[in-house]
Amino acid sequence: AQSVTQLGSHVSVSEGALVLLRCNYSSSVPPYLFWYVQYPNQGLQLLLKYTTGATLVKGINGFEAEFKKSETSFHLTKPSAHMSDAAEYFCAVSETGQAGTALIFGKGTTLSVSS
Amino acid sequence: GAGVSQSPSNKVTEKGKDVELRCDPISGHTALYWYRQRLGQGLEFLIYFQGNSAPDKSGLPSDRFSAERTGESVSTLTIQRTQQEDSAVYLCASSLNSYEQYFGPGTRLTVT
């Protein structure tokens, strides 16, 4: 069965510092991987996705993630944190990427950014 | 264009009452999903609709939960005889091509 583990329910960084949010997954087949961001009282917004091809994917707001099959990881990074990045981040996996396949989500990581 | 909308944004109900939650997907999106987000947890899949096909109800936690969708438009999630453990944010998502799901803002349900 698929599962997603996000290491660290809460990450705190200073403005301008590197952001690293960790995600490990388990899947019996090559997965489709996603990062979503959720701002307070809002729905989830897709940050980036990996389907096939290049393992380093770039998303919105300067975020990127690298799919590492050998490590079953899909960590999210941003070189320089901004106050507006404070939000909750969810990693998700889909086994097939086909319509009707529900996403399996991690429990989320809350990112705090201090000035 | 308009995104996924959900109503109400907040719902407080007494234990034992029935509630209906509504989702308006993005126009033209054939797929619609309901998820539940409990405090401090990730999202749990509840149910999926694709066009006129039979829905995938595999995630519904009990027979108190049901959902309907009219064609490729509005969906309603109904919870009967609500319990305190039903308190959560209920999120709806719609999709056109498959894996890229667009989420609504959610309905926060509180059962007292």
Residues of B in contact with A92 (CB under 8 A): 43
Residues of A in contact with B43 (CB under 8 A): 44, 90, 92, 103, 105
**Phi, psi torsion values for A60, nearest 5 degrees:** -80, 165
Tens-digit pLDDT profile for chain A (115 aa)? Answer: 778 999 999 999 999 999 999 999 987 777 889 999 999 878 889 999 998 888 999 999 999 999 999 999 999 999 999 999 999 999 998 876 565 677 889 999 999 999 9
**Phi, psi torsion values for A4, nearest 5 degrees:** -130, 130
- Give CA B73 to chain center in angstroms: 13
For residues A86 and A21, what is the distance between their CA atoms, to the nearest angstrom? 12
For residues A105 and B34, what is the distance between their CA atoms, to the nearest angstrom? 13
Beta bridge partners, B112, equal none
How crowded is the C-beta side of A20, counted as CA atoms within 13 Å? 5
Quick one: pLDDT at residue A100? 62
- How many separate helices (H) and strands (E) can be counted in chain B? 0, 10
Q: Which residue of A has its CA nearest to B53?
A: A100
Q: Region B1-5: what's the mean pLDDT?
A: 83
Cβ–Cβ below 8 Å for B91 and A46? no
Cβ–Cβ below 8 Å for B48 and A98? no
Reported as a pLDDT band with limits 50, 70 and 90, residue B79 is very high
For residues B81 and B1, what is the distance between their CA atoms, to the nearest angstrom? 37
Residues of B in contact with A108 (CB under 8 A): 40-42
**Is there a contact between B102 and B33 (Cβ–Cβ < 8 Å)?**
no
Residue among B31, B18, B2 at smallest CA distance from B64: B18
| Residue with more model confidence, B63 or A94 | B63
Non-local (6+) Cβ contacts of A76 within 8 A are: A19, A20, A21, A23, A35, A47, A48, A63, A64, A65, A89, A91
